[in-house]
Amino acid sequence: MRLKSLQIKGFKSFANDTVMHFNDNVIGIVGPNGSGKSNIVDAIRWVLGEQKSKELRLESMGDVIFNGTKTKKEAASATVALTFENNKNILPSEYQYVTISRTLYRSGESEYRLNNVVCRLKDITSLFLDTGIGSNSYAIIALGMVDDILENKENARRRMFEQAAGVSKYKMRKRETMLKLKSTDEDLNRIEDLLFEIDGNVKVLEKQARRTQRFNEIKEKYKDLSVRFAVYSIQAFKERYKAVAENLRVFQDTYRENDIQDVKLQALLEKEKKTSLDKEMALSERQKSMNEVVSKIRAEENEKVLLNQKAGFKTQAKETLQKNIEDATSEMETLKEELGKLVRRIEEEMSMDTHLKDVLENSKMAHHSLKEKFVLVKSGFDEKQKALNLLEKEQYEFEKEIAVLKNKVDNTEIEIRRTQEELGSREKNNEEIKLTYDELVGKVNKHTHELRKLETDEDERLRQLEQGEKNIEKVKESLSQTNRNLDSKQNEYDLLKSMIDSYEGYPESIRFLSESWQKNPVILGDILEVEEEYKAVIEAYLEPFLNYFVVENIEEAYRGIQLLNKAQRGKAYFFVNNLCGKVSQNTRYPKNLISAETFVKIDNKYNDLLTHLLKDCFIFDGDTQDLAMVSGVEAQWTILSKYGHYIKSGFAISGGSVGLFEGKKIGRKKNLENISKTILNFQKQKSVFESELNLLLASVEELKQKHNKTWVNTLKEELNQLNQQFVKAQVQLDSFHKFQVESQNKIKELKTAITSSKDLISIKEGHLKKIAESRESLMMSDGLDNVEVTGLQDELTMASEKYNQDIILLIRHQNLVENLKKELDYKKTRLEELSQKLENNKFRLMAEEKEAIDIQDNFRLIEENLVRLYEEKKRYNETLNVFEQNYFQAKNAITELEENIRKIHREQQQLQNQIQNLKDEFTELKFKINGVGERLKIEFNIPVNDIINQEVDKEFDNQSLQEELEKLKIKISQYGDVNPLALEAYNEMSERFQKIQIQKQDIVSAKESLMETIAEIETTATRQFHEAFNQVRENFILVFRELFTEDDTCDLILENPSSPLESEIEIIAKPKGKKPKSISQLSGGEKTLTATALLFALYLLKPAPFCIFDEVDAPLDDANIQKFNKIIQKFSRQSQFIIVTHNKSTMVEVDTLYGVYMQAQGISEVSAVDFKKLKHESSEAIQ
């Protein structure tokens, strides 16, 4: 197993996402002080689960998150991910690559992940247990930890030995087992305390149980006699009870029959409602279909408008393409003519080129012949002739360079002309693109405006739809509430009217006179109208008079009395209105009191009667205690509580709670009128709400069908196409602008080059002139006056000049041919471009024409669809009225059924009243039976139903049975206190005592098992630690002598061999020639090598997959550095090494070097160098 990669983001100084790959055996990390090298080691330690901020050089764990700089804000979290290659299956995982990560947020929340799955820290710790990997393992060593190991700070040596020996898991198991053992001891102590307590309670309960048993025997005898007496008492009521029950059964059967009829009508009503709902749905579907047709018509008309616009766009595009085709065709014809001319001229120039080459060859041969002849003649000449040859040669070179420069000027001017021509051609094409671009801008803006308007309309439609649905819910809720109120008031009206019509609650005499005496007799309770707040108190006061008839004269009263007497229908009472004299109202009373007459209204002709009844009656808003504080109250006055709690009259007072139905008897006819008005108002509200609901439903349905989604999607698609064309045109314009700038810069550069070349030609021609003068001067000097030599010299000069001229002519002609060929290639390329453009435009023109034809076809299709849809709309309009008629017929049938149901409900109400009267009589008998039954239930918990059907004993003696019961009752009362639960408690406590005894045995067995487990762990761990210690000791001696010399002395000693798991481990290290008393007396380098020897001794026993050294080599000199590097290279075959160092010798030995630096202040970055690759490349370079 080995490290594969490390990913850091937001951790300490690593603000940016940083990834380090560990592909080699030895990796070095270098960088200046403060650059963040050690933060990499801290990151590895942190992701492995380090919990101590001190170990990470921090004050608190939250400081690991990047805190920000002047130029970069702080990070929200710190994340480190470490990936391992599990190629040796050291980790108990089936994955080849295992990645652990840890994230800390500024909120304090922390998260661990294992292969990107959220896990606990415990899961990561368990995964790496006894693998040599951990935040505090010997795999991660910093410079300061060398002293910790040698000084055994915080048992550092023991921890490393335990990790290497693999006893950590045993110590963890032992610690867990010890905690379980401690918990078991605590449980055992609690069990023993509980047993001691229960044992005492059992003895006490045993005594109480015996006393309770004797008491229960006496009570059982008393119970038996009491039940026999109750059976005798109950049988006395049974005969009377059966007769009432039979009458009640008959009325209830009648009520059930009506109830069945009601159920049938309700079922029929539900059926009619379903039929109505079906018809309503059919009507709704028809309206929906109608709306769909209207929506389709609107969509088709919108599509028609859109097609008209598209047809206009296509016409414009066709005209533009046609013009482009004509321009390209014209330009191609011109180019073809120019190409023909160029080809012919090139052929002519090629023939001239052959001629010039022949002329040059002749000139060369003549020159060579003269030169040979001249050499023979001038062999006697001196050094001046050499100088002349040099001048001649120099002259030739200058003439050649001038010819080349002039040719370069010509070529440059041709290049300028060609560039200007190409720029002009592109400018012409750009004007067309610019026109297209401007046209596209207009189209995009227009489509964008239309799309925004449609989207705004759609948003408004959705808003109105949402508001409409909310309004529908509100209206439905209001309609439902109105229906409930209407039903409630209608039922109240029906019930009250039924009670008034049947005179329910009135004596039989009143019912008789109401039917046989007068058509509409006046009863006092019906003609009074009292404010709602005072109804209860006025009714309570006038209770004795509410059933009085009010008659105009005494004769009417006599007739009523005679009728009652004759029919033997009871008595009735009468107020004679014309006998009521005028009575003055009492106006002098305390301010705290209010005259009761103030709150009562009555017909004017009965005012005197009302004054007689309420003359000295006053209402007081307060309690009885407050009434005592009121002064000026006369003895004959009657004081009523405002809320009906009391009535005080003279020396008498009555009062108490107010019943639920008090105040309902007075003014029933007036109340019936008010309810009738309320019902009428509710019916009006219902009609308004139903109308409003229908309008809202129609409006919402219309809004649902009125959507513009198809039109919006079409516009979006076209806008997308226009945007693509717009972007394409914009790219072409940008490309032309770039080409224009480049061409202008190129022309400037070429003109600058021409100017430079001409200046250079002028300079060289000046030099050439000087050379000619020098040559002429030299030829005129002494030694050159020989006629033959001079003649030959002149001929040679002329031949040379002719030869040079022929060369220049040939070069110029070749350059001309080359330029002509370039121009030919350019025109061919331009011709191909125009040809391609022409083909593209023709193809686009065909496509546009095809699309125009498609648009016309679609236009015709839309026209046909519109005709069909208008016909369909007409048919829907004709059938819609039929559906509406069917719907309203169903609604009328429902109304008729509901009226029949209400009629049955009124009949049921009357039956219910009759049943209630029988139930009251029935209940009276039942109460008497229940009285006996309740006594049995309270005393003996015997339900009355258990004895109600028992027969009475024939030998029953009621007197002797009562005497016996009285004696037993006295005996029970004198028995004293008895714990009735003693027997049950004793049995429960005994059973609990036995169970706890069994639990104690289980805990003792568990404790013994835990002790055996601890002993087994101790044995295994001790044996394994001994074996590991001896092996590490041998390895330590070998590695120590390898790092020092063979003569050096070292050893590892257990200070307490009898207890190796708890013993301190002493390190003895004595380099040759030294006898230190302790390790602390060694030098810094010797300490480092000693600690290194111990570490590698542990690695030989249990190699860690990787090892990290953080500046451990700092105290070592050059010689010891070599030893250190040598042993690392040796061990790197088994383990991977990551070394943080400043030492150059160490840097040389690593395979890959990571440099840590801060390009921006406070932010660490890394850069890698692969030394193996560099060495390989160096070897290849040497070879």
- The band of 643, judged by pLDDT with boundaries at 50, 70 and 90, is low
For domain 1-135+1114-1183, the CATH architecture is: 3-Layer(aba) Sandwich (3.40)
- Token pair for residue 320? 């533009």
* More confident site: 900 or 962: 900
State whether CATH 3.20.20.70 applies to domain 140-167+983-1103.
no
- Lowest-confidence segment of 107-111, 424-428, 589-593, 742-746 by average pLDDT: 589-593
Asked if residue 875 has pLDDT above 70, the reply is yes
Q: What is the pLDDT of residue 1183?
A: 42
Whole-angstrom distance, CA of residue 735 vs CA of residue 434: 12
Query: Taking residues 272-294, what's their average pLDDT?
Result: 73
Torsion on CA atoms 1108, 1111, 1115, 1116, rounded to nearest 10: 60
Asked if residue 381 has pLDDT above 60, the reply is no
Asked if residue 246 has pLDDT above 80, the reply is no
Q: What is the pLDDT of residue 1181?
A: 46
* Percent of the chain residues topping a pLDDT of 70: 85
Percent helix, strand, coil in the chain, to 5, is: 70, 10, 20
Q: Which range, 311-320, 641-650, 853-862, is most confident?
A: 853-862
- The band of 711, judged by pLDDT with boundaries at 50, 70 and 90, is confident
Q: What is the pLDDT of residue 784?
A: 44
Long-range contacts of 792-796 (CB under 8 A, 24+ apart): 792/370, 792/373, 792/374, 792/377, 792/378, 793/374, 793/378, 795/370, 795/374, 796/367, 796/370, 796/371, 796/374
- Lowest-confidence segment of 284-293, 300-309, 372-381 by average pLDDT: 372-381
The 10 Å CB-count burial string (b at 16+, else e) for 750-759 is beeebeebee
Q: What is the pLDDT of residue 83?
A: 94
- Lowest-confidence segment of 96-100, 213-217, 341-345, 654-658 by average pLDDT: 654-658
Whole-angstrom distance, CA of residue 492 vs CA of residue 479: 19
* More confident site: 386 or 837: 837
CATH 3.40.50.300 in the chain, residues? 1-135+1114-1183, 140-167+983-1103
Distances (CA, A) of 686 to 269, 276, 475, 894: 20, 18, 10, 16
* More confident site: 54 or 939: 54
- Token pair for residue 169? 């898991």
Q: What is the pLDDT of residue 773?
A: 75
- Contact status, residue 134 vs residue 1102, Cβ threshold 8 Å: no
Q: What is the pLDDT of residue 838?
A: 80
pTM, two decimals, is: 0.37
- Token pair for residue 984? 């049950």
Summarize pLDDT for 742-783 with one digit per residue, the tens. Answer: 888 888 888 888 888 888 888 877 887 887 777 677 666 544
Summarize pLDDT for 982-1001 with one digit per residue, the tens. Answer: 777 777 777 777 888 888 78
